[in-house]
């Protein structure tokens, strides 16, 4: 008998399908941008087509070399990174990296970034114009320095966040691709950023990006990362992600939300779904275990079976009494 009464559904009976806005996914587990490579790098470790989607590393309008090494600093609580969004540029990604990923049968979410509003419009436009059948959505990483505004982060200012969102939406016009916008937790009130982003045309919010942090070698007095500070990810930020998802779901009941941050177990994914996420991304765990996303999916399925959840949609928003 299940814990909530009645017959406990078998693992095969769990309906994992979910919707992120108008987009239907076979299940709610995806990779997180920056942790799965630009293409099919993880295909040798798991069936990428078995995931809800593969969110690839962010690409820009042109090639970008990224930050100086060292770029990663492992911590007990997770990881600091300062890779700096190194990428070959959108044209090279479409020609060289996307085809082998598409060949796996995976649903692909392209991630984009830029230093200016026009950068976002251009890279979104290139992806939209490509009409690649494997690409099902575009996720805009707006936690980037805006060179037009004294290098302040787009994601830290409501007006800038809305402007860059609108530009990316315009770039995708006619493609049918929804735009997801990935927001930063490094603000006082995340809902104050999320509202204008949704009003500007975002089809979904991705919550959250990394938390700003720093590690110093006390023997040398120098930062452990080549660029100084970096972004903290992993288990340490999971409660931050849960709160961000919960607060944005409460503020915007009809919005589509993707939860990301410190997901390394099936129960972590379940927690974000209960907080109000429609789907979940697995990131830092993949560095130590390339097949982490597939394991989390299996664990989530088993968690649902054990707790009498026959449909994952019944779990979504449970913390809000949905």
Say if residue 15 is exposed, middle or buried (CB neighbours under 10 Å; 0-12, 13-18, 19+). Answer: middle
Question: Which pTM does this prediction carry?
Answer: 0.94
pLDDT of residue 204: 98
Residue 207: beta bridge partners?
183, 259
* Domain assignments of the chain as residue spans, ordered by start: 11-62+90-213+232-320
Query: Is 304 an active-site residue?
Result: no
pLDDT of residue 1: 31
Ranges under pLDDT 50 in the chain: 1-11
CATH class of 11-62+90-213+232-320: alpha beta
The dihedral over CA atoms of 128, 131, 134, 136, expressed in degrees to the nearest 10, equals 40
pLDDT of residue 144: 81
* Alpha carbons 295 and 304: distance in angstroms, whole number: 14
Q: Are 305 and 14 a contacting pair, CB within 8 Å?
A: yes
pLDDT of residue 147: 63
Residue among 61, 79, 108, 144 flagged as catalytic: 144
User: Please, which contacts does 68-76 make with residues 24 or more away whose CB atoms are closer than 8 Å?
Assistant: 68/226, 68/227, 69/226, 70/224, 70/225, 70/226, 71/225, 71/226, 71/227, 72/225, 73/215, 73/224, 73/225, 73/230, 75/215, 75/232, 75/234, 75/236
């Amino acid at each position: 008998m299940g814990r909530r009464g009645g017959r406990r559904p078998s693992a095969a009976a769990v309906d994992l399908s979910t919707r992120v806005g108008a987009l239907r996914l076979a299940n709610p587990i995806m990779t997180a941008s920056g942790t799965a490579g630009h293409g099919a790098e993880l295909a040798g470790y798991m069936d990428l087509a078995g995931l809800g989607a593969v969110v690839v590393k962010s690409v820009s309008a042109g090639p970008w070399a990224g930050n100086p090494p060292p770029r990663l600093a492992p911590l007990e609580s997770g990881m600091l990174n300062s890779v700096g969004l190194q990428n070959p540029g959108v044209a090279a990604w479409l020609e060289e990296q996307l085809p082998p990923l598409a060949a796996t049968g995976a649903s692909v979410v392209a991630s984009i970034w830029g230093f200016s509003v026009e950068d976002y419009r251009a890279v979104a436009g290139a992806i939209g114009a490509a009409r690649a059948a494997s690409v099902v959505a575009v996720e805009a990483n707006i936690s980037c320095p805006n060179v037009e505004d004294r290098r302040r982060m787009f994601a830290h200012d409501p007006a800038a966040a809305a402007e860059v969102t609108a530009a990316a939406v315009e770039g995708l016009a006619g493609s049918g691709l929804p735009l997801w916008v990935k927001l930063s937790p490094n603000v006082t009130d995340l809902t104050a950023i999320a509202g204008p982003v949704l009003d500007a045309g975002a089809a979904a919010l991705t919550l959250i990006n990394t938390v700003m942090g720093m590690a110093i070698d006390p023997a040398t007095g120098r930062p452990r990362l080549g660029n100084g500070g970096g972004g903290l990810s992993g288990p340490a930020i999971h409660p931050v992600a849960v709160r961000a998802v919960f607060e944005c779901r409460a503020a915007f009941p009809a919005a589509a939300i993707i939860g990301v941050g410190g997901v390394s177990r099936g129960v972590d994914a379940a927690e974000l779904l209960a907080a109000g996420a429609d789907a979940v991304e697995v990131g830092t765990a993949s560095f130590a275990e390339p097949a982490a996303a597939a394991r989390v999916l299996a664990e989530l399925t088993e968690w649902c079976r054990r707790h009498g959840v026959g449909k994952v949609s019944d779990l979504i928003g449970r913390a809000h009494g949905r």
